[in-house]
Amino acid sequence: MSVSVRRVVCRVFLTAVAALLPAAAHAADYTDLWWTPSEPGWGVNVVQSDTFMFLTFFIYGADNKPTWYTAQLTQDSSGNFNGGLYATAGTYYARPWSTADSTPPQQVGSVQFRPSTTNAYQATLAYAVDGVGSVLKSVERQMLTPIRLGGTYTGGLAGVQSGCSPSGSYKIAYDLQVTQSSSSQATLAFTFPTYACTLSGALVQHGTQYSIDNASYACSGATSFSTSAAFSQLKATAQGIEGQWVAPINGCTETAYFSAVLL
């Protein structure tokens, strides 16, 4: 669809869509369980709140026995997260909790979580404990179970066309039907006011998220084209679904972000 046609559609539906659109800042959420697949048995739980992360490590000490630490990280201007590593003490779990057994968290090291610059499911974890030389690990999101995406949704989409003339942005409402024929295949059928688009392909699961690396992408109606798209950060949310894609269209690069609620 040309930028001019999209702008006409947007003006008509802008008010109705405003409450449904994704947030203005399209930042990845790294909340998940992270591990190194070739080293099963240890890992890190990451819970992110805006630009803050809380990490819990389940690792092993010098005696090969289980131990754990926590970390509190904040994001820097380069997108990495940095902060202290802490040890705590408390009451033996089989006894009633007593504050007398607790001690203030003691910083025993430092941590840096460096997200990949090419995707949202890989990262580098660097940390040091009690002066021991830095540990450097390549980590990724750990899949626990397949997650169902199928359903009927309604929502809003914000997109940008770049690398061509004219370039521009657009906002539009849609209905969405997601068909997940198996845990590894999905079709997303978007119905917009004057046209319809379908994206489909093989799902690859990364923890709580999916990607479709080479999705087929076709639209018909007020605009018509057939191309491919790179789908990423596709995930089920508490109320619906969200994701993003990048696709070449008529000499432009389209970057689209969408979210929707389950009907």
Q: Per residue in 79-123, pLDDT tens?
A: 999 999 999 989 999 999 999 998 889 999 999 999 999 999 999
| Whole-structure pTM value | 0.86
Residue 32 falls inside a structural domain:
no
188 with 83, same domain: the answer is no
83 with 133, same domain: the answer is yes
Count of the separate structural domains present in the chain: 2
Residue 92 falls inside a structural domain:
yes
End position of a domain, from candidates 86, 112, 141:
141
Q: Are 165 and 7 in contact (CB under 8 A)?
A: no
Tokens of 149: 């995406």
Cis ω before 166 (30° cut-off from 0) = yes
Residue 31 falls inside a structural domain:
no
End position of a domain, from candidates 141, 160, 177:
141
Residue 33 falls inside a structural domain:
no
Domain, as residue range, for 215? 3-24+146-262
Q: Which pLDDT value is given to residue 7?
A: 39
In the predicted model, residues of the chain with pLDDT beneath 50 are 1-23
Q: Which pLDDT value is given to residue 22?
A: 42
Q: Using the CB atoms, write b or e for 84-110: b if 16+ within 10 Å.
A: bbbbeeeeeeeeeeeeeeeeeeeeebb
18 with 91, same domain: the answer is no
187 with 117, same domain: the answer is no
Q: Which pLDDT value is given to residue 260?
A: 98
83 with 20, same domain: the answer is no
68 with 171, same domain: the answer is no
End position of a domain, from candidates 116, 141, 166:
141
